[in-house]
Amino acid sequence: MVNKLRVIIVEDELPAAEELKFIISQYDFIHVEGVAHDGQKGLELIKEKKPNAVFLDINMPLQNGIKLAEEVKRFDNSIEVIFVTAYEEHAIKAFEVDALDYILKPFDDKRIAVTIDRLISKLNVKKVDQDNIPNIINEIINKIDRVEKLVKKIPCERKGKIILVDVKDIYFCFIEDEKTYIKTKAEQYLVGYTLHQIEEKTNFFRAHRSYLVNMDNIREMYSWFNGTYKLVMNDNEKSEVPISRNNVKKLKELLEI
């Protein structure tokens, strides 16, 4: 187990920094090694203290938080980065620098508790498997807890733009020509995740090896052939999604039928 977590806070707004420090300090197994109020001092402090994790604001003077995170990872890739920001539009950049989490202001004690649990889990895995890190590092980075790591938005691409789509607005996800797409009520978007990654980030049901379904957006289902079924979605096109025979039983259990 990790005995004492060492963290650093880099936040230019003094009230926000103090509030975050107060919340984190309630955990007796965490020690806040220091607080910096700009990116330059933050990097110096991180290099000096070599913490387990950094709570990092994105919009800061002297150095942008995204750029600072990239420098932190270059310095020591084992340092976990948790972004804190008031703006959702930075989410895609957070994914790109392998941030552990992305917390929106104003701070919420319960949301930060989820982050702390996530951090503890990740560091414990690292400690247990330290002799086998080269073989498992990608698995550690992508490992997502089914309860605590659900996301609210999925970054998608359409016509050269990155669009953050609410998970609740997604009807189903599918693979076509080796690319992954999500389908909303009226639109279709390309997404950079695999179906497996989306499955781990959401509560979507794996209906078929090529389909994930948002159970909240099913219109009806019917028997097809050879023990399989089809789902009719509630999107504009009333799209039909196949359910493989192996997954029919799971679906019936979920629907209690």
The backbone torsions φ and ψ at residue 127, rounded to the nearest 5 degrees and listed phi first, read -70, -45
Mean pLDDT score, 77-91: 81
**Is the pLDDT score of 218 beyond 50?**
yes
Domain boundaries, the chain: 5-142, 153-255
Lowest mean pLDDT among 65-74, 78-87, 92-101, 162-171: 92-101
How far is C-alpha 47 from the chain's CA centre? 26
**Sheet with strand 53-57: strands edge to edge:** 30-36, 5-10, 53-57, 80-85, 101-104
Task: Name the residue type at position 232.
Answer: V
What fold does the segment set 153-255 form as a domain? OB fold (Dihydrolipoamide Acetyltransferase, E2P) (2.40.50)
pLDDT in tens, 18-60: 999 999 988 888 999 999 999 899 999 999 999 999 999 988 8
Q: What is the pTM of this model?
A: 0.49
Among candidate residues 252, 253, 185, the one with its CA nearest the CA of residue 217: 185
Domain 5-142, CATH among 2.60.40.290, 3.20.20.70, 3.50.50.60, 3.40.50.2300: 3.40.50.2300
Show the CA angle centred on residue 206, arms to residues 147 and 233, nearest 5°: 110
- Those residues whose C-beta lies under 8 Å from the C-beta of residue 160, and which sit 6 or more positions away, are none
pLDDT of residue 147: 42
The pLDDT tens digits of the residues spanning 191-215 come to: 988 999 898 888 899 999 999 999 9
